[in-house]
Amino acid sequence: MTASTIKRPRTRTRRSLETVVVEALEDMKAANIKVLDVRSLTDITDLMVIASGTSDRHVRSVADRVIEKAKEAGFRPFGIEGERDGEWVLVDLPDVLVHIMLPRVREFYGLEKLWSASHSLPSPA
């Protein structure tokens, strides 16, 4: 499949995936959930969802739940990184990148500041 034949999901589909992700994060008690709209800044994704876990085990469990709920909703992850260490797990979903991090790792990398030109969206709860 070439880049020109890849079809982007309609906004309704993206919003439903956003809802699935945020609800999974909330169900697992992830902290400080932020949804960033980065469409105007990059072509690799539409949204970045950033959340914190309380321990490496919690970060891995939260990521597992996001993956499980996304699959149940019909969205297969393109990739998952960082599960072994559990300090920062990245879940690459269609048009949504999910970062689940320990608070110290989140503060160190400062993704919210890095993508500060984006527009923060309210959580769809």
Q: What range does the domain containing 77 cover?
A: 12-110
Write down the pLDDT at residue 10: 47
Contact 93, 44 (CB under 8 A): no
**Domain presence at residue 18:** yes
Instruction: Report CA 59 to chain centroid distance, whole Å.
Output: 12
**Domain presence at residue 52:** yes
In angstroms, the CA 45 to CA 111 distance is 14
Q: Strand 47-52 vs strand 31-37: parallel, antiparallel, or unpaired? A: antiparallel
**Domain presence at residue 119:** no
Write down the pLDDT at residue 97: 95
Write down the pLDDT at residue 40: 86
Write down the pLDDT at residue 5: 44
Write down the pLDDT at residue 118: 47
Contact 62, 69 (CB under 8 A): no
Which pTM was predicted?
0.81
Give the residue, 5 or 104, on which the prediction is more confident: 104
**Domain presence at residue 3:** no
Total domains present in the chain: 1
Confidence of residue 113 (pLDDT cuts 50, 70, 90): confident
CATH number of the domain residue 45 falls in? 3.30.460.10
In angstroms, the CA 60 to CA 22 distance is 16
pLDDT in tens, 42-95: 889 989 999 999 999 999 999 999 999 999 999 999 999 998 888 999 999 999
Write down the pLDDT at residue 120: 56
**Domain presence at residue 49:** yes
**Domain presence at residue 117:** no
**Domain presence at residue 95:** yes
**Domain presence at residue 64:** yes
Contact 87, 59 (CB under 8 A): yes
Q: Give the burial class of 38: count Cβ atoms within 10 A of its Cβ; 0-12 exposed, 13-18 middle, 19 or more buried.
A: middle
